[in-house]
Amino acid sequence: MDNTKRYQRLLERYRSGDLSRRELMSLIGAAGLAYGLTGGPMGALGKQALAAKPDSVRFDGWGGVVSEAFRKYAFDPYQKATGIEVIDGTFSSGDEYLSRVKAGQPGEFNLFHASGVFDYARYAGLGYDVVLNEANIPNLELAMTALKEPFRKVTNGNLSCAPYDYGTTGLAYNTKYISKEEMEEKGAKILIDAKYKGKIGGWGDWRTRVWYGALATDQNPNDIKDMDAVWDAIRAHRDNALKYWGSGAELMSLLAEEEIYVTEGWSGRIAALQQQGHPIAYHDPKNGFGWQECLMVLKGSPLEACEELLNFMLEPEVAIAVAEGQSYPPSLDPTKVDLGDKIPLLPAYDATGTLSQLTFADPAYWNGNEAEWSKTFGRVQKGY
């Protein structure tokens, strides 16, 4: 029996409940010892990759607990199995990473953790997309259709990425200073409330600022009618804020050290703070910013190696471990895959697999306004 069949049988036993996750990983490890590889999917990967492998692939992500989860649960096992090194870098915003890609050489950057369909559309619009051979990524079948279709619409039915996780940018607040009742009453308006001047934070990202400016002025973020009111709200937030934060690590530090009491924040990072015991609550206001993230492959990359890495990262055992590590729900369809006990407790989790309760950014609307709004925000940020 070859490794692939052995692994598939183990997976079938695991999925039917005959094996626990711990037992599965133990058996995979035992198989790996026999074959001199990590075993199971890793053994199969190793055989395939040895045929024509690059020395490395580069992956760029958001850093902090997210990168730690990727490294521990996906990249290290993948490297051990295939001999292909995953070189991981970080960025603090999609704009910053795009500038690096534009300045780089074709093939210098391979995969990255793209945030939102609008980011995917930006890269595709600039010609950085590829056409993935989905036959090499069979685990794509386990991902939610609701997460795959928006990407397919951008790239003519093809995929240049694997959807990987989703979450929301909601309101995070310290319950020692702000009550649940006050948060629910004020919603996004609390970010411009002079009562908390100097104790308010916010991400220095033009999309997030415009989105929350729309919510603070009771407008639909995907169909803003009064942009002047939005800019006034953004100025009010700027004047009351302690500072704009620039990364997830800084967001967590500002809240944990009580330098700020309230900010919008990424659901997974807030969940991580809660797991660490900090009195930080999370509130998703109406039309809160929902987003989905994907692992996008850039033009010039070693496609087969990237496809293997994507398939490995979508293995339920890997994807679940990463999701629990980074505190964002995986793209796996909960109607097809048992996601365990922890993931259903994460913020933004959708048990239906439809994500119909979340509000996502309209890619055409936001990308169509990017040039004007990002430029204006740059001026507002400087005090104009």
The mean pLDDT value for 227-254 works out to: 95
Q: Give me the pLDDT at residue 66, please.
A: 80
The mean pLDDT value for 249-255 works out to: 94
Which tokens sit at 226?
Answer: 């009064």
Of 195, 250, 223, whose CA–CA distance to 362 is shortest? 223
Q: Give me the pLDDT at residue 24, please.
A: 55
Which tokens sit at 33?
Answer: 């010892």
Distance, in Å, from the CA atom of 50 to the CA atom of 38, rounded to the nearest integer, reads 14
CA 131 to chain CA centroid, nearest Å: 21
Q: Give me the pLDDT at residue 345, please.
A: 92
Angle between helices 3-15 and 40-51 (to 10 degrees): 150
Instruction: Report the relative pairing of strands 111-115 and 85-90 from DSSP bridges.
Output: unpaired
Which tokens sit at 42?
Answer: 């890793």
Rounded alpha-carbon distances, angstroms, from residue 277 to 78, 174, 256, 257, 298:
32, 12, 10, 12, 39
Q: Give me the pLDDT at residue 26, please.
A: 53
Q: Give me the pLDDT at residue 169, please.
A: 95
The pLDDT confidence band at residue 133, using thresholds 50, 70 and 90, is: very high
Q: Where does 132-179 have alpha helices with state H? A: 145-154
The mean pLDDT value for 131-137 works out to: 96
pLDDT at position 1 over 60: no
Question: Cβ atoms within 10 A of the Cβ of 228, count?
Answer: 8
Summarize pLDDT for 277-320 with one digit per residue, the tens: 999 999 999 999 999 999 999 999 999 989 988 999 999 999 99
Check if the beta carbon of residue 329 is closer than 8 Å to that of residue 350.
yes
pLDDT at position 8 over 50: yes
CA 126 to chain CA centroid, nearest Å: 22
Domains of the chain are: 54-166+291-359 (3.40.190.10), 167-289 (3.40.190.10)
The mean pLDDT value for 56-61 works out to: 91
The mean pLDDT value for 108-125 works out to: 91
Burial class of 257 by CB neighbour count within 10 A (0 to 12, 13 to 18, 19+): exposed
Summarize pLDDT for 182-202 with one digit per residue, the tens: 999 999 999 999 999 999 999
Q: Where does 71-166 have alpha helices with state H? A: 76-82, 94-103, 116-125, 145-154
| Contacts for 165 with CB less than 8 Å, ≥ 6 apart | 268, 292, 293, 323, 326, 328, 329, 330, 331
Question: Cβ atoms within 10 A of the Cβ of 91, count?
Answer: 19
The C-alpha torsion from 138 through 142 and 146 to 151, rounded to 10°, is -20
Q: Give me the pLDDT at residue 74, please.
A: 87
Handedness of CA 316, 312, 89, 206 (dihedral sign): negative
The mean pLDDT value for 36-58 works out to: 51
Rounded alpha-carbon distances, angstroms, from residue 148 to 98, 102, 293, 299:
22, 26, 11, 20
Greater confidence (15 vs 312) lies with 312
**Mean pLDDT of all residues in the chain?**
87
| Contacts for 159 with CB less than 8 Å, ≥ 6 apart | 131, 132, 134, 140, 148, 151, 152
Q: Give me the pLDDT at residue 235, please.
A: 98
Distance, in Å, from the CA atom of 287 to the CA atom of 282, rounded to the nearest integer, reads 15
Distance, in Å, from the CA atom of 202 to the CA atom of 213, rounded to the nearest integer, reads 11
pTM of the predicted structure, to 2 decimals? 0.76
